[in-house]
Amino acid sequence: MELLQVKNLYKKYNAKVDYAIKDISLYGNSGEIIGLLGHNGAGKSTTIKSIVGMHPYEEGQISICNFDLKTQPIEAKKHFGYVSDEFDLFEKMTGLEYINFMADIYKVSEKDRKKQIDKFEKIFALGDALYREISSYSHGMKQKISIMGALIHNPKVFILDEPMTGLDPNIANQLKKFFIKHSKKGNLVLFSSHNLDIVESLCHRAYIINHGILLKEIDLEKFRKKGKSLEKYFLNITKKASKV
Residues in contact with other proteins by the rule CB under 8 A: 13, 52-56, 73-75, 77-78, 82, 84, 86-90, 92-94, 96-97, 99-101, 103-107, 109-110, 113-114, 117, 131-133, 135-136, 138
| CB nearer to other proteins: pick between 92 and 181 | 92
Cβ 10 to other proteins shortest distance, Å: 16
Question: If you ran DSSP here, which 8-state letter would residue 131 be given?
Answer: G
Question: If you ran DSSP here, which 8-state letter would residue 18 be given?
Answer: P
Which helix (H) or strand (E) segment holds residue 176: the answer is helix 169-184
Cβ 111 to other proteins shortest distance, Å: 9
* Residue of 76, 35, 31 lying closest to 52 (CA atoms): 76
Strands 33-37 and 205-210 come out as parallel
* Residue of 181, 190, 102 lying closest to 145 (CA atoms): 102
Cβ 150 to other proteins shortest distance, Å: 9
Question: If you ran DSSP here, which 8-state letter would residue 19 be given?
Answer: P
| CB nearer to other proteins: pick between 110 and 122 | 110
Q: What angle do CA 138, 161, 12 make, to 5 degrees?
A: 130
Cβ 140 to other proteins shortest distance, Å: 13
| CB nearer to other proteins: pick between 41 and 242 | 41
Cβ 28 to other proteins shortest distance, Å: 17
Residue 212: what are its φ and ψ, rounded to 5°? Answer: 80, 5
| CB nearer to other proteins: pick between 32 and 161 | 161
Which helix (H) or strand (E) segment holds residue 21: the answer is strand 21-29
